């Protein structure tokens, strides 16, 4: 039976509550007060933890943003270097072809000179 109902019943039956009833009610009120204080302390602790976690979360997000920016910058540099190497390879290939053609021309001229020397 709830405390409030007990008083209602007693008042309706015109019985006066005894000392034991008042002690029981006082104990229940003290228990409720204790639980409320404990809940208030727990709420404060949870609010502090929440604030700390939110701060940590913001710091981690900022760090992640910084790392993502670094990754993007490094990818851009890598692409630039790769393009440079590709361009250089194409350029070297063209130079190589030109040198091969030049050497082939020299060989032809040398062959002609040797032929001329052989006949004269």
Domain definitions of the chain by residue range: 3-119
pLDDT at 26: 84
Tell me: the pLDDT tens digits for 66-84?
A: 999 999 999 999 999 999 8
pLDDT at 15: 58
* pLDDT higher than 80, residue 43: yes
Q: What is the pTM of this model?
A: 0.50
Under a CB-based contact definition with an 8 Å cutoff, are residues 10 and 17 in contact? yes
Tell me: the pLDDT tens digits for 83-108?
A: 988 888 888 888 888 989 989 998 99
Mapped onto helix, strand or coil, the DSSP state of residue 13 is coil
Cα gap 67→53, rounded to integer Å: 21
Percent over 70 (pLDDT), the chain: 86
Cα gap 100→75, rounded to integer Å: 37
Residue-averaged pLDDT of the chain: 85
Under a CB-based contact definition with an 8 Å cutoff, are residues 3 and 28 in contact? yes
Under a CB-based contact definition with an 8 Å cutoff, are residues 10 and 16 in contact? yes
Under a CB-based contact definition with an 8 Å cutoff, are residues 19 and 13 in contact? no
Q: Which residue has the higher pLDDT, 71 or 13?
A: 71
């Amino acid at each position: 039976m709830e405390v409030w109902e007990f008083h209602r019943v007693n008042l309706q039956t015109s019985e006066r509550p005894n000392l034991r009833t008042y002690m029981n009610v006082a104990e229940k009120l003290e228990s409720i007060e204790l639980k409320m204080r404990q809940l208030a302390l727990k709420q404060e602790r949870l609010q502090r933890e929440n604030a700390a976690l939110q701060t940590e979360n913001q710091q981690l997000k900022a760090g992640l943003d910084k790392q993502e920016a670094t990754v993007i910058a490094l990818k851009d540099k890598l692409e630039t270097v790769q393009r440079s190497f590709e361009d250089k390879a194409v350029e070297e290939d063209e130079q190589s072809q030109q040198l091969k053609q030049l050497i082939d021309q020299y060989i032809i001229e040398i062959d002609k000179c040797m032929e001329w020397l052989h006949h004269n």
